[in-house]
Amino acid sequence: MRNVTIMIKPFFEAVRAFKSGPFKSTDLVKRLGYASGYVRNFLSQATRQGLLVPESRAGKREKTFRANPRVVRDIVLRGGKDKEELLNAMGLRSKYFGEYVALDGFEIIDHDQDLYRLGERVFSNREAPGRIVVTNVGVPKKIITVEV
């Protein structure tokens, strides 16, 4: 768990820079300015923790990585600062601020200012995959109020 905390920040930076696309260790050095030793350590730990998925491409010597889409659900369900950071890194804040979004990994499958309208659309389909996760981006314009 301690390692997750250590590796989550560069993970968010990688998501911010490459979204769900592939990247190599040299990309992290060039785009994010990390030292190559730090990058090696990050890639190995983040892969072990399931934050990244390694991919091997035929004919390419250097390994590529992608952010693991399964992590999105875990982080959203955990909530708090990590959720905010992830949604920021995914670029959702500028586009969907004040709304609710339904995510399937890094893919935005639907969004709405009204949580209930969104829920009805997304979950009335019995085939809706269990990996879909719903959350708010910033403070919802139509926030739910419970006076308890």
Partner 1 sequence: MGFHLNIGKCWRFSDDEQPPYPTIELNVSSADRNAAISPKVDTGFNGSLAIGIEVVKKLRLTPAGTVLVRTAAGNREVPVYALNLSQPDLGISYATLAIGTERSLVGRKILNDRTWLLDCKEERFCIIAQTEMS
For partner 1, the binding residues (CB under 8 A) are 76-80, 83, 100, 115-116, 118-120, 122-124, 126, 128, 130, 132-136, 139-140, 143-148
- Between CA 17 and CA 22 the distance in angstroms is 10
Q: Which is nearer to partner 1, 13 or 99 (CB)?
A: 99
Rounded least distance, CB 144 to partner 1, Å: 4
Q: Which is nearer to partner 1, 28 or 75 (CB)?
A: 75
Q: Could you tell me which of 3, 8, 5 has the C-alpha nearest to residue 86?
A: 8
Q: What element of type H or E holds 129?
A: none
Rounded least distance, CB 109 to partner 1, Å: 12
Rounded least distance, CB 116 to partner 1, Å: 6
Q: Which is nearer to partner 1, 58 or 146 (CB)?
A: 146
10 Å CB burial of residue 22 (0-12, 13-18, 19+) is middle
- Between CA 18 and CA 133 the distance in angstroms is 21
CB 92 within 8 A of CB 128: no
Q: Which is nearer to partner 1, 58 or 139 (CB)?
A: 139
Rounded least distance, CB 33 to partner 1, Å: 33
- Between CA 101 and CA 80 the distance in angstroms is 16
